[in-house]
Amino acid sequence: MLNAQQLTQYRRDGFLVLPGFKAAAEIAGIRQRALQIVDAFDEHSNRSIFTTNDQVRQTDDYFMGSADTVRCFFEEEAFLEDGSLRQAKHLSINKIGHALHDVDPVFDHFSRGPSLASLAADLGLGSAHIWQSMYIFKQPGIGGEVRWHQDATFFDTLPMTVTTFWFALEDATRANGCLWVQPGGHMGPLRERFVKVDGSKTACAMEALDGTPWPDEHSAVPLEASAGTLVVFHGLLPHYSAPNRSAISRHAYTLHATHAAATYSPRNWLQRTAALPVRGF
Ligand code: FE2
């Protein structure tokens, strides 16, 4: 799937941009399915928001219980003071997570197949475990910031193998909150680890590991990407996305996969049971 130059680039930069990886029809299929899931979601049933700025406080039973099912999370700015939604429900959801790829046939199909399997193998995941899928809306006007982080913070394996597959479902631009990355930043240390508190099923904590500063505007680059582009990146690559204050949404879909032979930490928040075993591409 990847040529020698692309592999060299990935090893040097920690990421690779693959324009045109997904066809428009496939993207339309999961966009439509995501809207159906949101339509079916009772906005009064749960008001869990998703924010990366206060992840520990926002971790609750609803979040922890989403490891093997499909749940909707609101944008942090979705609600007015009186508790009503600022925008229509379908313009208020931050993301759907975290087992779309295993419980929904449309997402299962989008998330697997020979092209992805071959790409994953090129990146060192010849035998993979796809732990998590997220449909991210980055809603117009209220799309939340995702602060600087490394995805290995959430998927600790020994050795470190987590790799991110980030699909642009709409054009991602600086205006609507595209990804920012630090080229080569994957050579640096893991700064923090998000793990279950010992003995707790629902409490998680962010453990500080290394004080290396996060990138700034001098070392980070924006990854503007047209719809259909796949960005793959290394678990240690620092990345960020700005709030979306524009009138245009920035839908994306992500998968997080590890090597099946690596030891997956029992302290990671996302665990699977025998009822829904983790699978590969
Ligand atoms: Fe991330």
Report how far ligand 1's centroid is from the alpha carbon of 82 (Å): 32
Position 200 in a domain: yes
Instruction: Report percent pLDDT > 70 for the chain.
Output: 98
pTM score, whole prediction: 0.96
Does the pLDDT value for residue 55 go beyond 70? no
Report how far ligand 1's centroid is from the alpha carbon of 137 (Å): 14
Report how far ligand 1's centroid is from the alpha carbon of 151 (Å): 5
The number of C-alpha atoms within 13 Å of 66 and in the hemisphere containing its C-beta is 20
Position 280 in a domain: no
Position 246 in a domain: yes
Does the pLDDT value for residue 2 go beyond 90? yes
Report how far ligand 1's centroid is from the alpha carbon of 227 (Å): 19
Position 32 in a domain: yes
What's the CA gap between 38 and 93, in Å, rounded?
8
At 171 the pLDDT is 98
Mean pLDDT of 126-147: 96
At 58 the pLDDT is 62
pLDDT mean across residues, the chain:
94
Mean pLDDT of 10-32: 98
Position 171 in a domain: yes
At 121 the pLDDT is 98
CB contact at 8 A, 223 and 180: yes
Report how far ligand 1's centroid is from the alpha carbon of 271 (Å): 18
Position 251 in a domain: yes
At 199 the pLDDT is 67
Q: Name the residue type at position 68.
A: D
Report how far ligand 1's centroid is from the alpha carbon of 146 (Å): 8
> Distance from CA of residue 191 to its chain's centroid?
18
Does the pLDDT value for residue 99 go beyond 70? yes
Which tokens in the block code for residue 156? Answer: 């600790």
Report how far ligand 1's centroid is from the alpha carbon of 239 (Å): 6
> Distance from CA of residue 172 to its chain's centroid?
15
Does the pLDDT value for residue 46 go beyond 80? no
CB contact at 8 A, 239 and 193: no
Report how far ligand 1's centroid is from the alpha carbon of 2 (Å): 23
Range of the domain at 124: 4-263
Provide the pLDDT confidence category of residue 51 given band limits of 50, 70 and 90. Answer: confident
CB contact at 8 A, 228 and 26: no
Report how far ligand 1's centroid is from the alpha carbon of 152 (Å): 9
Position 270 in a domain: no
Report how far ligand 1's centroid is from the alpha carbon of 231 (Å): 12
Strand, helix or coil for residue 212: coil
Task: Give the chain's end-to-end CA distance (angstroms, integer).
Answer: 14
What's the CA gap between 31 and 41, in Å, rounded?
15
Q: Which of 259, 272, 281 is nearest to 65 (CA)?
A: 272
At 28 the pLDDT is 98
Domains of the chain: total:
1
Q: Which of 164, 145, 167, 140 is nearest to 229 (CA)?
A: 167
Ion ligand 1, residues whose Cβ is below 5 A away:
151
Report how far ligand 1's centroid is from the alpha carbon of 81 (Å): 30
Domain with residue 244: its CATH number is 2.60.120.620
Position 279 in a domain: no
Mean pLDDT of 207-217: 95
